[in-house]
C-alpha cells in the first residue's frame, strides 16, 4: 500500500492502536492488585492452551514508558487501553492509590508524546472477590462504584471512555461455552450475565456522568455477521439466532428495546432477574459506539443437544478460504456488511473501529518479522472503512489490534496479534513489517 485513501488521512481521521490490561500489564500482584477471574481461570489445569497465565505477559506495568514511546514513533496519535478494575480497587471497594498511580503515570507519558488516551473500564478482568460475578445483580452496582471512582481520580484526563468491551464474550464465552473465565456452561445463566452486564453499562454511564459530565461515553461491541450454510429454512433460522445472541441481546437494551422472543425463551425462569425499569437504565444516551471486527461466522441448524439450547451450530466455511493463524476466515467485506446490518436495525451513534487485526504467527528472523499476511489483511480492511465513509457512514477512527503480541486469553501465548513482536523471555520489542507499513502511511 503506497498511500491511504484521502478519507483516512490522519489529518481528518483518528488512527490508533489498542491493548487491554490483563493481556499486557503483568505485575499481577504488584502494589496491591487483587486477583481477577482470569487469574483464577489460568490457575485451573486445562483452561489455557499452552498452560500459561497473565502474571507477566508483556510486563507493560514496568515497560509502559518504552511502549508509549514506541506508539509515538510508529505515528499513532491515539491509544486505546483498558483499566484493570482489580488494580485500582480493594476487596472492600476502596481506591487502591498505588494502582491508580500507575494509570496516572501512563497518562503522563501519553501526554508527553501528544497521544490521546481512549480508555475502557472493563475488558474482562473482573475482580475475583465479587461473589457470583456477572450472575449477581450486585456486581452491576459495584461496577457503577468503580466507574465513579475512575471518574473521580482520572476522569478529567480521559476524553473518551467505553464502559464495557465485548460483553458477549464475558456472558457467552464465560458462562455458556465455558472457554473464557469463569468457565460456566449454562445457557440460561449466560443470558443472566448478559443482562447484568448491560445493567452495569447503564449504571456505569450514570455514575460517570454524575462526576464528569463532559466525557464522551460509549460501549464497545463485537457484532456478529453469521451467514447460513445453506438456504434451507432451518439454517437461515439458525444463523439469525446467532446474530440475535450477539447483536440484539446487547443493542436492543442500548436503545430501550426488549430482547427477541428466542432469547426470552432461552433464559427461562431465570428471566425474573430482569426487573421493571432495567431497560431504561441500560438505554443511556450514547456518545459513540466502538465496533470490533475480525471475521464472520457460518451457521447451520444445531447438531447436538448442547447446540440445541442456543439454536445454532457454527461450521467452517464450505469452500477453501484464506485463514489467519488462529483459523479465522479473512473476510474484509464482512465489515461493510455488518455495519450495514446494524444501521438497518438501530439508530447508531458515531462509530469507531476499536479493534481489527489478524493472528499472524510469523516469527522473528534476522531481527525482523515479515508478517505479510497481516499487512494484506489490514490493507483490505482499510479499504472497507474508506468505502463505508464514502457511503455516508459516520466512522471516525480505526484502532489496530494490537500494539503488542500478548496473552491471547484461552490461547495463551500461542497466537500473536501484535504489530510489534514481543520476546516474552527478554521482553524485547521488535516492530514488524505491519508496524513499519503503518508508520509509513501515518507519517508521510
Coil, helix or strand at residue 204: helix
Answer whether 301's CB lies under 8 Å from 313's CB. Answer: yes
User: What crossing angle do the helices spanning 187-211 and 138-154 adopt, rounded to 10°?
Assistant: 30
Whether the full predicted model's pTM is greater than 0.95, yes or no, is yes
The CATH number linked to 54 is 3.20.20.80
Which amino acids are annotated catalytic? 166, 355
The answer as to whether 274 is a domain residue is yes
Q: What is the structure's pLDDT at 60?
A: 99
Distance between CA atoms of 377 and 128, rounded to whole angstroms?
A: 37
Q: Does a structural domain hold residue 299?
A: yes
What is the pLDDT at residue 318?
A: 73
Evaluate whether residue 282 is within a structural domain: yes
Asked if residues 54 and 39 have their Cβ atoms less than 8 Å apart, the reply is yes
Cβ atoms 130, 92 nearer than 8 A: no
How many domains would you assign to the chain?
Answer: 1
C-beta of residue 107 within 8 angstroms of C-beta of residue 157: yes
What local confidence, expressed as pLDDT, does residue 438 receive? 98
Task: Decide: 415 and 326 in contact? Cβ < 8 Å.
Answer: yes
Distance of CA 382 to the CA centre of its chain: 19
Query: DSSP 3-state helix, strand, coil percentages of the chain (rounded to 5)?
Result: 45, 15, 40
Question: What is the predicted pLDDT for the residue at 183?
Answer: 98
Task: List Cβ neighbours of 26 (8 Å cut-off, separation of 6 or more).
Answer: 54, 55, 56, 57, 58, 59, 60, 61, 62
Q: What is the mean pLDDT of each run of 10 residues along the chain (444 residues)?
A: 92 98 98 98 98 98 98 98 98 97 98 98 98 98 98 98 99 98 98 98 98 98 97 98 98 98 97 98 98 98 94 87 94 98 98 98 98 98 98 98 98 98 98 98 91
* pLDDT confidence of residue 317: 79
Q: What is the pLDDT of residue 158?
A: 98
C-alpha closest to that of 427 among 63, 102, 19: 63
Contact 405, 418 (CB under 8 A): yes
Q: What is the pLDDT of residue 345?
A: 98
Domain region containing 26: 6-443
**Within a domain: residue 1?**
no
Q: How many whole angstroms separate alpha carbon 30 and alpha carbon 237? A: 49
Amino acid at each position: 500500500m503506497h498511500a491511504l485513501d484521502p478519507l483516512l488521512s490522519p489529518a481528518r481521521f483518528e488512527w490508533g492502536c489498542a491493548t487491554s490490561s490483563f493481556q499486557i500489564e503483568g505485575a499481577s500482584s504488584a502494589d496491591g492488585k487483587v486477583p481477577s477471574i482470569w487469574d483464577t481461570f489460568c490457575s485451573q489445569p486445562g483452561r489455557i492452551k499452552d498452560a500459561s497465565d497473565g502474571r507477566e505477559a508483556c510486563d507493560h506495568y514496568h515497560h509502559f514508558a518504552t511502549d508509549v514511546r514506541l506508539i509515538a514513533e510508529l505515528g499513532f496519535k491515539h491509544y486505546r487501553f483498558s483499566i484493570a478494575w482489580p488494580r485500582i480497587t480493594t476487596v472492600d471497594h476502596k481506591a487502591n492509590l498505588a494502582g491508580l498511580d500507575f494509570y496516572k503515570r501512563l497518562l503522563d507519558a501519553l501526554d508527553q508524546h501528544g497521544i490521546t488516551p481512549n480508555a475502557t473500564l472493563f475488558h474482562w478482568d473482573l475482580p475475583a472477590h465479587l461473589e457470583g460475578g456477572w450472575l449477581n445483580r450486585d456486581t452491576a452496582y459495584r461496577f457503577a462504584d468503580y466507574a465513579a471512582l475512575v471518574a473521580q481520580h482520572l476522569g478529567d484526563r480521559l476524553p473518551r471512555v467505553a464502559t464495557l468491551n465485548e460483553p458477549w464474550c464475558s456472558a457467552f464465552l464465560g458462562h455458556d461455552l465455558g472457554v473464557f473465565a469463569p468457565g460456566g456452561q449454562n445457557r440460561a445463566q449466560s443470558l443472566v450475565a448478559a443482562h447484568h452486564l448491560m445493567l452495569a453499562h447503564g449504571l456505569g454511564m450514570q455514575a460517570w456522568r454524575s462526576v464528569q459530565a463532559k466525557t464522551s461515553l460509549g460501549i464497545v461491541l463485537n457484532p456478529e455477521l453469521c451467514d447460513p450454510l445453506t438456504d434451507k429454512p432451518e439454517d437461515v433460522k439458525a444463523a439469525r439466532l446467532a446474530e440475535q445472541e450477539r447483536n440484539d441481546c446487547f443493542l436492543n437494551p442500548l436503545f430501550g428495546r426488549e430482547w427477541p422472543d428466542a432469547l426470552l425463551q432461552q433464559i427461562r425462569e431465570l428471566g425474573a432477574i430482569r426487573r421493571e425499569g432495567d431497560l431504561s437504565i441500560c438505554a443511556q444516551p450514547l456518545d459513540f459506539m466502538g465496533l470490533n471486527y475480525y471475521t464472520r461466522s457460518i451457521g447451520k441448524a444445531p447438531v447436538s443437544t448442547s447446540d440445541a439450547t442456543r439454536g445454532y451450530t457454527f461450521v467452517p466455511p464450505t469452500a477453501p478460504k484464506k485463514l489467519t493463524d488462529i483459523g479465522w476466515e479473512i473476510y474484509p467485506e464482512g465489515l461493510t456488511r455488518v455495519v450495514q446490518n446494524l444501521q438497518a436495525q438501530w439508530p447508531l451513534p458515531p462509530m469507531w473501529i476499536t479493534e481489527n487485526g489478524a493472528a499472524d504467527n510469523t516469527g522473528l528472523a534476522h531481527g525482523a518479522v515479515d508478517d505479510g499476511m497481516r499487512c494484506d489483511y489490514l490493507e483490505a480492511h482499510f479499504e472497507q472503512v474508506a468505502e463505508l465513509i464514502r457511503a455516508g457512514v459516520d466512522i471516525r477512527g480505526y484502532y489496530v489490534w494490537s500494539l503488542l503480541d500478548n496473552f491471547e486469553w484461552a490461547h495463551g501465548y500461542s497466537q500473536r496479534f501484535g504489530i510489534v513482536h514481543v520476546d516474552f523471555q527478554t521482553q524485547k520489542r521488535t516492530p514488524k513489517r505491519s508496524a513499519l507499513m503503518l508508520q509509513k502511511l501515518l507519517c508521510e
